[in-house]
Amino acid sequence: MELEPLVSEEQGVVYLFARYWDKIVHIKKMIKEIKIIRVHFPDGLYINNEGFLGGIEFEHKLSGFWGHIDDDKKKIQDIQRFYIDNKEDFPVKSPFLVIYWNKDDDEADIRTKCKKLVKGINVEFVNLSENFYPFIEKDKEMLIPYWSFNLKHTKKDSLNKILNKCKNLKTRGIINIFPKPQRDNIKIIGFNPKKAADVDYKHWGLINFFTTGSDSGKKKTISEVNPPNKILIVPKGSNCIEAGFKVEMIFKIKKKHILLKEFFKNNYFWPYDVEYNKSYCIVYSNFKIIPKNRGKNIFKEKFKSSWQSSGLVVEKITKPSLYNILNSLLR
């Protein structure tokens, strides 16, 4: 079994592509041979199965490709220059390949823009992350997330086991468990991808534990009287509801204890630290990644004007129609 590290930048995409491209069927159908991988546009050159040369560009986020086709500082965009300078060697019928990891933009919009710039161009996209499985292994103090090309992760502590451990911590006076909500209550919270060290949503789907920020002043991030039973996530700087989950339990840590180190070791991507005593600790289930278009449209229509980039809670969900819309995201 070969495990690969998390992909946090373009170099990681290049590394995984170079190692696995000839093992991925739909890529193998397009590429016969890799000629070169380099550091200027395009990042690579290949020969297709008809013997024609084509270009390859790597991006960590798909949106990064706009820099080559819609840069106001350039009279001639990168992709135009590539075909102008190499029109004899690179026929447009040989697909220009965009290999990326994070689908944070629309492939159709980028393809349309390319066709406006280069007549007859054929742009093909490969979301490399779709060919890898999230995988987790236990380390001395925490869980370590990896990617696996051919093996699905199957082992993890059951939800009931985690809940029972929490009840044991409460009995020992180590944590304070919030009461179950009396009614449905959805909260939208912020999420800082950089602080999360690029742990992917697919990895969060393999575990059942999450922590969120501490209170600021008199304002409570999460109400102990009526805590949420569902949470939706909007990353910092994003305009999209990207994921969500059902809340099974919320607790706050009362005091440092060796059992907390064991709990974090078995259930979280970071080791226990006393700073977590200030945080809200959430045991969850049914983690769901929300389709980008849907999450973006709902956020734009309902929350854009009230989004607080520095705050965690965007808005209290009280209107039945809005609640129904948000609740549908987690079905």
Any domain includes 137: no
Specify whether 186 is located in the same domain as 223.
yes
Cβ contact 188:312 at 8 Å: no
Total structural domains within the chain = 2
Specify whether 163 is located in the same domain as 308.
yes
Specify whether 60 is located in the same domain as 201.
no
Cβ contact 114:123 at 8 Å: yes
Any domain includes 215: yes
Any domain includes 184: yes
Cβ contact 132:147 at 8 Å: yes
Specify whether 165 is located in the same domain as 82.
no
Specify whether 124 is located in the same domain as 174.
no
pLDDT at residue 308, rounded to an integer: 46
Specify whether 124 is located in the same domain as 162.
no
Specify whether 313 is located in the same domain as 189.
yes
pLDDT at residue 246, rounded to an integer: 93
Any domain includes 237: yes
Q: What is the DSSP letter of 219?
A: B
Specify whether 94 is located in the same domain as 169.
no
HEC string for 224-283? CCCCCCEEEEEECCCCCCCEEEEEEEEEEECCCCHHHHHHHHHHCCCCCCHHHHHCEEEE
Mean of the pLDDT values across residues 43-63? 93
User: How far is 197 from 9, CA to CA, in rounded Å?
Assistant: 11
Domain residues for 69? 3-131
pLDDT at residue 1, rounded to an integer: 66
Specify whether 70 is located in the same domain as 116.
yes
Cβ contact 149:3 at 8 Å: no
Main-chain dihedrals φ then ψ at residue 55, nearest 5 degrees: -100, 155
Any domain includes 142: no
pLDDT at residue 128 greater than cutoff 70 = yes
Specify whether 225 is located in the same domain as 94.
no
Specify whether 11 is located in the same domain as 100.
yes
Any domain includes 22: yes
pLDDT at residue 49 greater than cutoff 80 = yes
What's the CATH number where 188 sits? Answer: 3.10.590
Length of the chain: 331
Six token digits for residue 241: 């509801």
Specify whether 82 is located in the same domain as 227.
no
Any domain includes 144: no
- The verdict on pTM exceeding 0.75 is yes
The pLDDT tens digits of the residues spanning 232-279 come to 888 877 778 889 999 999 999 999 999 999 999 999 999 999 999 999
Query: How many CA atoms within 13 Å lie on the side-chain side of 228?
Result: 27
Q: Which of 98, 131, 164 is the last residue of a domain?
A: 131
